[in-house]
Amino acid sequence: MIDVQSALWVVSRYRDESTDIERLTVEGAMDAFDRHRDGVERTDIFERFGEPMDYWVLLTRDRPNRVYPTKPIIGFIRKKAEFSGGWGQKYDAASLLHAAGFVIVGETGDALPLPEQYAHVDRGADHVRLCAINYFVEPAREDQQLQVENRVGDLHRLLGPSFTVVAVGDAVSDPVFADTAGITLIGRRGATQSEDDTFTFAFERPRKTEPMTSTEISLPTNLILYGPPGTGKTYHTAFEAVRLCLGEQTSDTMRKNRKAVMEAYRTLVSEGRVEFVTFHQSMSYEEFVEGLRPETGSAGGADPSEGGAQGGGFTLKVKDGLFKRISERARLDAGVAAEGASRLDRKRRIYQLGLTSSGWKSKLDQALVFGRIDWLHGGDTDWSAPEFEEWERIKAVRQVQDPQIKGYSPDVYGTWVIRSEAEIGDFVMLTARTGNVVALGRIVGPYLYEPPTATEPARHSRAVEWMWSSAQGVDREGIYPKPFTSFHPIYSLEPDLIGWDVLEETVFGKDAARPTRSARPHVLIIDEINRANISKVFGELITLLEPDKRLGLENEIRLQLPYSKTLFGVPANLHIIGTMNTADRSIALLDTALRRRFTFRELMPDPSVLPEVVDGIALRRLLQTLNERIEYLFDREHQIGHAYFSACKSRADIEDVLRYKVIPLLAEYFYEDWSRVAAVLGDTAQGRSRFLTARVLPVPDGLGDDDTREPRMRWTPNDRFDLSEFAA
């Protein structure tokens, strides 16, 4: 079963007036309907439909409940509510589902007769074959069976009275059926043109089941888990992260195994696919997205490859925050591409080396023939010595040779790039003029120095494995939006601006694997998301959180960040899960922009997860009673979570939880009104003090007697609690 966010993405392609709806699209809508009906994840569109009356559709998979009302299913797909659930028009619900190869049934699950008066309702062999594929072939293929049987009687009963046994048998025996379904007829038994006529087909090749969105980018999840403290929100975020990263099938096997969930969660954290952050009142945009941070350094020159403002003995450098870092990891994740697929390592830097002179073509030919790049600004010095790893050392030597030289000149900065910064595995892109890319290669060797000869100057070079070249070149605009500068012959491109998809298509061809489609899911968990100022922390990026505005999706948006001035977008494979303690702030007080972009799932105290009895104490009844009193005296959002008592093994443990956790929490809830705390615990004015003892405070000397003043009480927890009310 998929979640509603993924189902919404699958169906988003079918909102237009089209009768072409795929089986998995309908099944995804059914999954969303189940989650809505079960209260797991509410979806507004389903709220707009009343009770079904006449038309239902039959699920193709084997489940206890296989019957769904037609209107909500099509309404979810088309995002409309005003239409008929029947057959009358081509775009009515039953008509669309029938055309997709689904069986329209009554409430009991029996097929309804097809109306004869509507020409758009297919009553022929094509519909029989499509239903056979949907209800028999594809489920068997998804179960990775080697063959599938089609018994004419079974298919005839499925289709109902509008089709004869002979018509069903003829449709299945036609070679068109096997060709369409991708199967081969290997056997036939039983009397022909009878209900016992049985066809056995083999799948032409083992076919691994593809996820619903194998050719599209899955719609990201924006989810907030909210509820009172102690309801397991933090654990549920771990499970949701595991589910999103590893899939429904894997997570279902560990749903009731907390240890397995946490082991999988820790593994994902170590891989960098899951990040956890707790919001607080002082959380800022600069911490979360990006900001300027001071760095000390020499004032003699700055590395031109890095942005920032300099002054007063330190440099302000742009530092990425947690959100930007995990967004970049998700964006650059290549995933598990198909065998033999070609792709570039997106975590590597790309260095642009300009061939700027009129003889650039001969330089290109020389680079390709000898498998290297030559640096013409290194002088006669051999920079191989270890001390020249540092840019400052190269600058110092060059300034001895030429006092006028600056740290950002090609003689210093470019030499340092060739000598030290460019690592084996990084890419080098040769460009001609300022707008043409003519070659791309991978650096495969260290810095090499060849001393000058009588006819040749000293050579500074790096070995390169060339991956692609073209004397005609390609325009840089799709690969890199900023014009290449001639001021620096070599420099690293800004990672945020590189068009990796276009570059891969240029190097490997149009069929190159696209990591944006195969990238693995990543998850950012934001604990206590309601404790920070959302507008302050997210800033303009709140727009980018919307599922359809993620990178690679229909309404993709990139915004220029204020400090780095780079374009930034949130990748579609980054899911965001937040938690919200309703005892701190009601959901009604949340930022409207945040509420609109997130799905909210409530987690309330669940006494059923606790043992029925612990050391003679009815633990479930104790928690339920306390929460009923809290809800009556305060509200449901301030109840006590079951997690407070989950580790209790004895009466002493229960007393400790009540004494050190529950009672202080209640005192905070009721603003030190201890009479209400006592009421929650069951200490009434008429009864004995089972948990708290109240003593009237004497009026201090000098305040005088005042009969109108209410007596002041001192409340003290008893040394031992009387839990007889909750005795098992």
- Contacts of 679 by beta carbon, 8 Å cutoff, 6+ apart: 629, 633
Give me Rg for the CA atoms of the chain.
34
Q: Which residues have CB under 8 Å from 162's CB, separation 6+? A: 111, 113, 114, 123
Work out the end-to-end distance of the chain between its first and last CA atoms, rounded to an integer number of angstroms. Answer: 40
For range 316-330, the mean pLDDT: 89
| Collapsed DSSP state (helix, strand, coil) of residue 343 | coil
Looking at 23-32, 263-272, 485-494, 511-520, which range is the least confident one?
Answer: 511-520
Task: Name the strands in the sheet holding 290-296, side by side, starting at the edge strand that comes first in the sequence.
Answer: 290-296, 314-320, 308-311
Domain ranges across the chain:
4-203, 222-282+519-602, 343-513, 607-726
CA–CA gap between residue 606 and residue 599 (Å, rounded): 21
- Asked whether 545 and 222 are in contact (CB, 8 A), the reply is yes
Which range, of 38-52, 448-462, 610-624, averages the lowest pLDDT? 38-52
Distance from C-alpha of 54 to C-alpha of 65, rounded to nearest angstrom: 17
Whose tokens are 């892109």? That residue is 429
Tokens standing for 414?
């470019």
Confidence class for position 16, pLDDT limits 50, 70, 90: very low
The answer on pLDDT for 299 being more than 70 is no
Taking the CA of residue 595 as centre, how many other CA atoms within 13 Å lie in the half-sphere pointing to its CB?
A: 7
Among 182-186, 209-213, 472-476, 678-682, name the one with the lowest average pLDDT.
209-213
Average pLDDT estimate for 304-324? 69
* Partners of 440 in the β-ladder: 429, 468
C-alpha–C-alpha distance, residues 102 and 58, integer Å: 7
DSSP 186-228: EEEES-TTSTT-EEEEEESS--PPPPTTTTSPPPPPEEEEEES
Q: What is the mean pLDDT of residues 136-144?
A: 88
Among residues 177, 195, 198, which one has the least CA distance to residue 129? 177
Tokens 């999706």, located at residue? 553
Question: For the ranges 189-203, 289-303, 482-496, which has the lowest average pLDDT?
Answer: 289-303
Tell which residue, 353, 410, 386, has the closest CA to residue 398: 410
pLDDT tens string 641-697: 999 999 999 999 999 999 999 999 999 999 989 989 999 998 876 667 889 988 888
pLDDT (average), residues 483-491: 83
Three-class SS of residue 653?
Answer: helix
Residue written as token pair 């309330």 = 604
Q: Which two tokens stand for residue 655?
A: 């007393």
Q: Which residues contact 39 (CB under 8 A, 6 or more apart)?
A: none
Residue 302 banded pLDDT, cuts 50, 70, 90: very low
The pLDDT of 51-69, averaged and rounded, is 85
DSSP string spanning 477-503?
TTT-SSPPPSSSSEEEPPGGG--HHHH
CA 345, 346, 347, 349 torsion: positive or negative? positive
Q: Please give the Cα distance from 21 to 19 (Å, whole number).
A: 6
CA distance 110 to 97: 16
300 is written with which tokens? 């003699």
Q: How far apart are CA 722 and CA 689, in angstroms?
A: 8
Phi and psi angles of residue 153, each rounded to the nearest 5 degrees, phi first:
-65, -40
**φ and ψ at residue 189, rounded to 5 degrees:** -140, 165
Residue type, 360: W
How long is the chain?
728
Exposed/middle/buried for 642, CB within 10 Å: 0-12, 13-18, 19+?
A: buried
What's the confidence (pLDDT) of residue 405? 82
**pLDDT at 411 exceeding the cut of 80:** yes
> Phi and psi dihedrals of 439, rounded to 5?
-165, 150
β-strands 599-602, 222-227: how paired? parallel
- Cα separation of 474 and 469, whole Å? 10
What pLDDT sits at residue 441? 94
Of 213, 181, 159, 208, nearest in space to 28 by CA: 213
Q: Helices in 21-137 by DSSP H: which ranges?
A: 23-37, 44-47, 70-78, 93-99, 125-132
Spatial distance between the Cα atoms of 260 and 268, rounded to a whole number of angstroms? 12
Condensed to tens digits (0 to 9), the pLDDT of residues 240-275 reads: 999 999 988 888 888 888 899 999 999 999 999 999
- Kindly state the percentage of the chain with pLDDT values over 90: 36
Q: Which residue's entry shows tokens 């009343």?
A: 50
Between residues 507 and 513, the one the model is more confident about: 507
Mean pLDDT of 205-216: 36
Q: What share of the chain is helix, strand, coil (3-state, %, to 5)?
A: 35, 20, 45
Please state the rounded mean pLDDT for residues 494-501. 83
* Other beta carbons less than 10 A from residue 409's beta carbon: 19
For the segment 145-161, the average pLDDT, to the nearest whole number, is 90
Indicate whether 230 pLDDT > 70: yes
What Å distances lie between residue 585 and 154, 327, 635, CA to CA?
57, 28, 13
pTM exceeds 0.85 for this model: no
3-state secondary structure of 57: strand
Residue 32 token pair: 């969303």
pLDDT, residue 686, reads 60
Find all residues with CB under 8 Å of 436, minimum gap 6, and list them. 473, 474, 475, 476
Q: Bridge partners of 599?
A: 223
CATH numeric code, 343-513:
3.10.590
| Chain centroid, CA 551 distance in Å | 12
CA distances, 701 to each of 82, 128, 704, 705 (Å): 77, 97, 7, 9
Q: Are 599 and 548 in contact (CB under 8 A)?
A: no
Distance CA 721, CA 662 (A): 13
Q: Residue written as tokens 């100057």?
A: 457
Tell how strand 574-581 and strand 222-227 pair up. Answer: parallel
Q: Taking residues 499-519, what's their average pLDDT?
A: 71
Helix (H, G, I), strand (E, B) or coil at 659: helix
Q: Residue 31 — φ and ψ, nearest 5°? A: -60, -45
Alpha carbon distance 85, 93 (integer Å) = 5
Extended beta strands in 554-612, E state: 559-560, 567-568, 574-581, 599-602
Looking at residue 414, the DSSP 8-state letter turns out to be I
Residue 553 has pLDDT above 90, yes or no: no
Hey, what CATH class is 222-282+519-602 in? alpha beta
Q: What rounded mean pLDDT belongs to the chain?
A: 83
The pLDDT-based confidence of 346 (bands split at 50, 70, 90) is confident
d(CA 261, CA 335): 22
Tokens of 341: 């697929």
What type of residue is 669? Answer: Y
Distance in angstroms (rounded) separating the CA atoms of residues 466 and 477: 21
Tokens standing for residue 701: 């000397």
Helix (H) / strand (E) containing 31: helix 23-37
**Across 5-14, 457-466, 562-571, 670-679, least confident range:** 5-14
